[in-house]
């Protein structure tokens, strides 16, 4: 893993690399690619991404991500290939909830699915979070019926706790999200 660092007010955001996979901070010129990717109905089906998804939603997403990063509450990245084509969005959230804890949330663009992108990106982000931020517990909360995301969590080394929870940031009040944990030793 190679990291190039960009300083923000809240924390240093690196660019993480694993071969041809790059996790980099979001930029304003990503709006069109994010808007296009979020037209895929599978993304709002399994996440809290709104549907229909507009350019204004992408702009709001970038703005909210920057505010949360500046406050030290999250670290948001886009997964891109060597040509800087969008593969997905990966965020480390809930950093202010409890010491040593974070939650990884993500979506993968339709054309990038089935290639191991999510597993590699989750591993990169979790390793950085443990090594650089000192996190000792990281959660992934896939929808209980989203078998693909559950497999990603397992392949990335997260353990299924058998618990279900409601959405931590709004959305479903009923417990429909499985809890997967990674504990650093």
The pair of structure tokens assigned to 142 is: 């896939």
pLDDT tens track for 157-184: 999 999 999 877 766 677 889 999 999 7
pLDDT(94) > 70 = yes
User: Would strands 177-183 and 21-25 be described as parallel, antiparallel, or unpaired?
Assistant: unpaired
The pair of structure tokens assigned to 36 is: 């296009």
Domains of the chain: 2-183 (3.40.630.30)
Beta bridge partners of 4: 15
Task: Please tell me the predicted confidence (pLDDT) of residue 174.
Answer: 76
Least Cα distance to 75 among 57, 93, 60, 61 occurs for 93
Distance from the first to the final alpha carbon of the chain? 20
The pair of structure tokens assigned to 88 is: 């997905």
pLDDT tens track for 102-130: 999 999 999 999 999 999 999 999 999 99
- The alpha carbon torsion through 164, 170, 174, 175 (nearest 10 deg) reads 0
Least Cα distance to 16 among 78, 69, 70 occurs for 78
What pTM was estimated for this model as a whole?
A: 0.90
Least Cα distance to 24 among 132, 124, 147, 151 occurs for 124
**Residue 62 φ/ψ, nearest 5 degrees:** -65, -40
């Amino acid at each position: 893993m190679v990291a190039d660092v960009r300083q923000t007010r809240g924390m240093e955001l690196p660019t993480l690399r694993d071969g041809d996979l790059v996790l980099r901070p979001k930029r304003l010129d990503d709006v069109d690619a994010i808007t296009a990717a979020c037209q895929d109905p599978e993304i709002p089906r399994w996440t809290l991404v709104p549907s229909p998804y507009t350019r204004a939603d992408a702009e709001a997403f970038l703005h909210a991500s920057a505010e949360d990063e500046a406050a030290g509450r999250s670290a948001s990245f886009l997964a891109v290939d060597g040509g800087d084509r969008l593969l997905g969005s990966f965020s480390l959230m809930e950093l202010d909830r409890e010491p040593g804890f974070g939650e990884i949330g993500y979506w993968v663009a339709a054309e990038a699915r089935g290639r191991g992108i999510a597993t590699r990106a989750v591993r990169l982000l979790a390793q950085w979070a443990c090594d650089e931020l000192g996190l000792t517990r990281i959660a992934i909360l896939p929808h209980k019926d989203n078998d693909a995301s559950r497999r990603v969590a397992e392949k990335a080394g997260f353990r299924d706790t058998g618990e279900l929870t409601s959405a931590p940031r709004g959305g479903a009040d009923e417990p429909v999200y499985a809890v997967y944990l990674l504990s650093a030793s």
